[in-house]
Amino acid sequence: MNARTRKLLDAAEQAVGRLVQECRKGTPLYALCPKAVAQVSRTGKWLLNATAVLAQELNALATPEGDPKQS
């Protein structure tokens, strides 16, 4: 994975992580509209998992075992 992509994924992970933290039960945001905030939290957690999988796959492509040019 190139540095630009790594930086992009890191920034997304940090931003979504902060959002998920703010959407926990007991936070002021949750108290305002629990259903919508819970949906944002679930979607944020899904996005964190999806970006982690993407990062894993991009890293695998960067290794000799995953590099099609090496075959």
pLDDT at 43 over 90: yes
**What pLDDT sits at residue 9?**
96
Average pLDDT of the residues of the chain:
90
Residue 3, burial from CB neighbour count under 10 angstroms (0-12, 13-18, 19+): exposed
* pLDDT tens digits along 18-34: 999 999 999 999 999 99
Phi first, then psi, for residue 67 (nearest 5°) are -85, 115
In this prediction, residue 66 carries a pLDDT of 52
